[in-house]
Chain A
Amino acid sequence: MNAPVILDRRRVLQGGGALIVSFSLSRAFAQEGAPAAAKRPGSLATASYLDAWLRIDADGRITAFTGKAELGQGFKTAFQQIAAEQLDVAFQAIHVVTADTQLTANEGYTSGSHSMQDSGTAILNAAAQVRELLIAEAARRLGLAVEGLKTDSGAVVAPDGRRITYGELVAADMLHVQAQPQSKLKDPATFKVMGHPVPRVDIPAKVTGGEAYVQDMRLPDMVHARVVRPPSYGAQLVECDSSAVEKLPGVVKVVRDGNFLAVVADKEFQAVKAMNALAAAAKWKESPSLPRQDDLLNVITSLPSQDSTNRSDPSVSGQKTVEATYTRSYQSHGSIGPSCAVAHFVGDAMTVWTHTQGVYPDRQAIAEMLRMPPASVRLIHVEGSGCYGHNGADDVAADAALIARALPGRPVRVQWMREQEHAWEPFGPAMVTKLRASLDADGRIADWNFAVWSNTHSMRPGNAGTLLAAQHMAQGFAVPPPKPLPLPEGGGDRNAIPLYNFANAHVVHHFIPAMPLRISAMRALGAYHNVFSIESFMDELAGLAGADAVEFRLRHLEDARGRDVIEKAAQEFGWTRDQKPQAGRGYGFAFARYKNLAAYCAIASEVEVNRETGRARLLRAVAAVDSGQVVNPDGLTNQIEGAIMQSMSWTLYESVSFDDTRITSIDWQTYPILRFDAVPDRIDVHIINRPGQPFLGSGETGQGPAAASIANAIAHATGKRLRNLPLTRKRIKDAIDA
């Protein structure tokens, strides 16, 4: 280990085990290019050695490694369940180590609801294969056939009762073998840990004030830094006399590099005060560069675009045609805790503790910014406040690294201020969709036209130019050109292709390279708006056809698992044709399969609209979800509940505001989100478990259906269709009064 590693706060590996794993990783990567006969499951495809995922010590301790970052979704607990189940040990016998460039596989970003599919599947198969290896080794030692051997509580057991523990069986390089494409997985019917609700391992510390977040790290001799960000995109630092600031109590150093400005102090509040003084001393030259916030439809659709047609069938015209345009404002991730990182520069090595979603890509970007070899930079994931996509995590990690380089030997903790997080995080992009469809004489959709205008949905690191600090430093890095994320997952066109069986469909993606506002990935990417649009429009068409919303969807859907969640949600909600809600209330329904390849989700909702104020409140929601084999049902329920609540907040309240120069939504006054008075009376989540089926990501599957379900319920309650997100009180009121 060439980086200064302070291990006392994190129970990472002890002894030489970590070295073996590092070694195995580097060998594994050397062979990444080798052709594989059959694709290995999950992330075993890219990190194929079993010991990249699991380690068993001589004393029987078992460690599972994941390259993914725990963001509050609870998958660390799920991975522990998976490993315990397949290895036949108690849940408590497993320790999970998360993303660390020195310890874990490179699994890219923790995004796109991929953690269970990639890492969970890898651990599932690796654990099953390790179990087979252990049985084979025991068979060899005992001189018995493998068929008669069983595993139980961390040991292989012979028919005559002899036991050899895993610790006794495992030898130096025994797990250093490449995974097979096929694994002998346990029969789901025998599961003792998987599929059962298990309390999350991270919650006890979080409810007792333990060290749970990077924000809580305190390293010996650590100093606190604050950044002074420019007042607007592209602002130039003209003048900054920092001499008075340097004399303030506790101030250790003022760091300036081009437009990058920061101050370091012994104590945190000293750093905050010095930051305020430094901000007052800094003179910036700003220039107006932002578009009109109140005309996003025209702003977005008039930017040059690169168009691609995702599905085009001969167009037929039905008898009744409708068309509609839907828009979505820029929206904030809005993490409750502003982003934070700790960096430590010793010798020629940089270590950064960060809540980034991608330790490897962020290492690449930070190394490039520092003009250091990536091998000399180590990124260790430590939990932060929930991020819901690409928030300020990577940027503050870069800030910390840049400041730490100016203070060799001292750990530097940087946390953003609230207004910095709100003004500088990369937003979820604004989007426009235009839909046109017609019905045939039987009330079926005869043709379907869908066009979406959007920026990319990922400006994540990899390149230094994605990092604010790298953009602002004197020898700065340019923002790399954006690329659309390719289908089938897609970015702006994620979920643009309908899952419904339309005879004819024409789907166009207008990818817009120009980014007037800083944007990147936000939970569900384009699927949030595309599903909102499709599922709102389905209701409009159902209305035209005189059909019930649920029946109309089923009429157009063959996918059996899709039909199952729709029917389940409808049944649990008590959905009936011609149901009559109380006055002022409405029912709504929506469905999607996230990315058309991850979890299925259908949501029925009841919304109350106050006609005097226009305020809409979700009263209850019933969701049905199919995410394949369920590992931790309560964790899945928690995710879906959260998705509904968060999507409701996006849908009813949220839009980034800006004038011609600055972002003006910079705190919770100017960017209001859900508060308790608008919390529903109840949310019910019904899981359709699919034992033995692959894991399907579920962290984002609720966002789109929740939005459309609420929009449809508002339309039902008011008789007015709202198509511009967010569906604010004022927009609803204006629609009612129109």
Chain B
Amino acid sequence: MMTLKVNGQENHIDADPDTPLLYVLRDDLKLNAAKFGCGLGQCGSCTVIVDGKAVLSCVTPLVLLEGKQVTTLEGLGTVSAPAPIQRAFMEEQAAQCGYCIAGMMMRAQALLLRNPKPTDAQIRAELQPNLCRCGTHMRILRAVHRAARLMDTADASANERSGQ
């Protein structure tokens, strides 16, 4: 039994320490966004954020996660209150089948946390580990740029509200 902090909530997990985070998220915590794609760290479908960084949950065992904060796509926002990155992907209609999209969004989110105004080349380099088979790449790139703009605006308006 260990404690795992996911999307701000503490969870008591009864699983072997070698269990990959992906299975804990999907099976124990009933979260959908992180997807099984290869189990080998080759495709990025399972990407989540751990302590601000994009991590492949299929090759990240529980034993590595003591005391760390896990964020999944569910933790960013909802359909009615979407996070900037979610709004951006909706506005750009950046999905076909969408199976890879949660992983794409989490890796992009980690990039934007670190670098709020990435260049196109930086976005491409960052997303290199993640595969899309439908060929939605152009829209994904547009959506990440849009998310950067939305976050910028959100920050600006938040600053205005707080009088900064």
Is A–B contact present in the complex under a CB 8 A cutoff? Answer: yes
Interfacial residues, chain A to chain B (CB-CB below 8 A): 71-74, 199-200, 202-213, 215-216, 218, 224, 249, 267-269, 272, 334-338, 383-386, 388, 415, 417-418, 634, 638-639, 641-646, 648-649, 667-669, 673-677, 679-680, 682-683
Number of interface residues of B (CB under 8 A): 57
Contacting pair A203 B89 (CB below 8 A): yes
Nearest first, the 6 A-B pairs at minimum CB distance are A645-B135, A72-B97, A386-B97, A209-B33, A206-B98, A642-B135
Nearest residue, chain B, Cβ from A682: B138
Chain A residues closer than 8 Å to B38, beta-carbon distance = 418, 667-668
Contacting pair B37 A73 (CB below 8 A): no
Chain B 128-148 interface mask (CB, 8 Å, partner A; 1/0): 101111111111010000000
Chain B 88-111 interface mask (CB, 8 Å, partner A; 1/0): 011001011111111001000000
Contacting pair B20 A638 (CB below 8 A): no
Can you pick out 27 interface pairs between chain A and chain B where the beta carbons lie within 8 Å of each other?
A: A72-B134, A199-B93, A203-B89, A206-B101, A207-B90, A207-B102, A208-B73, A210-B32, A249-B16, A267-B28, A336-B43, A336-B99, A336-B132, A337-B35, A337-B99, A641-B135, A645-B137, A646-B133, A667-B38, A669-B42, A674-B137, A676-B125, A676-B130, A677-B124, A677-B128, A679-B138, A683-B138
Q: How far is the CA of A203 from the CA of B137 in the complex (A)?
A: 16
Contacting pair A202 B36 (CB below 8 A): no
Nearest residue, chain B, Cβ from A385: B99
Contact of A209 among B73, B89, B93 (CB under 8 A): B73
Contacting pair B131 A638 (CB below 8 A): no
Chain B residues closer than 8 Å to A269, beta-carbon distance = 15-16, 19-20, 23, 27
B78 CB–A CB distance under 8 Å = yes
Q: How far is the CB of B133 from chain A (nearest CB, A)?
A: 5
Q: How far is the CA of A386 from the CA of B45 in the complex (A)?
A: 13
Chain B residues closer than 8 Å to A415, beta-carbon distance = 36
Chain B 32-53 interface mask (CB, 8 Å, partner A; 1/0): 1101111110110100000000
Tell which of A218, A269, A639, A641 has the most Cβ of chain B within 10 Å.
Answer: A269
Contact of A215 among B28, B36, B76 (CB under 8 A): B36
Q: How far is the CB of B46 from chain A (nearest CB, A)?
A: 11
B79 CB–A CB distance under 8 Å = yes
A71 and B97 in contact, given A638-B136, A676-B130 (Cβ under 8 angstroms): yes
Chain B residues closer than 8 Å to A211, beta-carbon distance = 32
Contact of A336 among B33, B93, B100 (CB under 8 A): B100
Contacting pair B96 A199 (CB below 8 A): no
Contact of A268 among B27, B78, B101, B131 (CB under 8 A): B27
Contacting pair B27 A267 (CB below 8 A): yes
Q: How far is the CA of A218 from the CA of B82 in the complex (A)?
A: 24
Contacting pair A641 B138 (CB below 8 A): yes
Q: How far is the CB of B100 from chain A (nearest CB, A)?
A: 5
Contacting pair A385 B74 (CB below 8 A): no
Contacting pair A677 B125 (CB below 8 A): yes
Q: How far is the CB of B70 from chain A (nearest CB, A)?
A: 13
Nearest residue, chain B, Cβ from A639: B96
A680 and B138 in contact, given A204-B90, A208-B73, A336-B37 (Cβ under 8 angstroms): yes
A203 and B26 in contact, given A418-B40, A677-B128, A679-B138 (Cβ under 8 angstroms): no
Contacting pair B82 A337 (CB below 8 A): no
Tell which of B97, B102, B137 has the most Cβ of chain A within 10 Å.
Answer: B97
Contacting pair B124 A641 (CB below 8 A): no
10 more CB-based (< 8 A) A-B contacts, given A335-B99, A384-B99: A72-B98, A199-B90, A203-B95, A208-B74, A267-B15, A336-B132, A418-B38, A641-B139, A649-B135, A674-B137
Contacting pair B96 A74 (CB below 8 A): yes
Chain A residues closer than 8 Å to B39, beta-carbon distance = 272, 417-418
Contact of B37 among A200, A210, A337, A676 (CB under 8 A): A337
Q: How far is the CB of B127 from chain A (nearest CB, A)?
A: 5
Chain B 4-32 interface mask (CB, 8 Å, partner A; 1/0): 00000000000110011001001110111
Q: How far is the CB of B131 from chain A (nearest CB, A)?
A: 6
Q: How far is the CB of B144 from chain A (nearest CB, A)?
A: 11
Contacting pair B131 A679 (CB below 8 A): no
Q: How far is the CA of A683 from the CA of B124 in the complex (A)?
A: 16
Q: How far is the CA of A388 from the CA of B27 in the complex (A)?
A: 28
Contacting pair A642 B42 (CB below 8 A): no
Nearest residue, chain B, Cβ from A706: B135
Nearest residue, chain A, Cβ from B73: A209
Contacting pair B95 A215 (CB below 8 A): no
Q: Which B65-92 residues have a C-beta within 8 angstroms of A?
A: 72-74, 76-79, 82, 86, 89-90
Q: How far is the CA of A337 from the CA of B133 in the complex (A)?
A: 10
Nearest residue, chain B, Cβ from A337: B99
Q: How far is the CA of A641 from the CA of B95 in the complex (A)?
A: 11
Nearest residue, chain B, Cβ from A267: B27
Chain A residues closer than 8 Å to B138, beta-carbon distance = 641, 645, 679-680, 682-683
Contacting pair B98 A644 (CB below 8 A): no
Contacting pair A646 B32 (CB below 8 A): no
Contacting pair A336 B141 (CB below 8 A): no
Q: How far is the CB of B71 from chain A (nearest CB, A)?
A: 11
Q: How far is the CB of A128 from chain B (nearest CB, A)?
A: 28
Q: How far is the CA of A638 from the CA of B96 in the complex (A)?
A: 8
Q: How far is the CA of A267 from the CA of B141 in the complex (A)?
A: 36
Chain B residues closer than 8 Å to A643, beta-carbon distance = 135
Nearest residue, chain A, Cβ from B36: A415
Q: How far is the CB of A237 from chain B (nearest CB, A)?
A: 24
Chain B residues closer than 8 Å to A679, beta-carbon distance = 124, 137-138, 141
Contacting pair B31 A209 (CB below 8 A): yes
Nearest residue, chain A, Cβ from B30: A218
Chain A residues closer than 8 Å to B79, beta-carbon distance = 204-205, 208, 210
Q: How far is the CB of B123 from chain A (nearest CB, A)?
A: 8
Nearest residue, chain A, Cβ from B45: A336
Q: How far is the CB of A168 from chain B (nearest CB, A)?
A: 32
Chain A residues closer than 8 Å to B82, beta-carbon distance = 207-208
Q: How far is the CB of A677 from chain B (nearest CB, A)?
A: 6
Tell which of A73, A208, A385, A667 has the most Cβ of chain B within 10 Å.
Answer: A208
Q: How far is the CA of A673 from the CA of B139 in the complex (A)?
A: 18
Chain B residues closer than 8 Å to A383, beta-carbon distance = 97
Q: How far is the CB of B20 from chain A (nearest CB, A)?
A: 7
Contact of A638 among B31, B76, B139, B141 (CB under 8 A): B139
Q: How far is the CB of B38 from chain A (nearest CB, A)?
A: 4
Contacting pair A207 B124 (CB below 8 A): no
Nearest residue, chain A, Cβ from B127: A676
A668 and B42 in contact, given A203-B93, A682-B138 (Cβ under 8 angstroms): yes
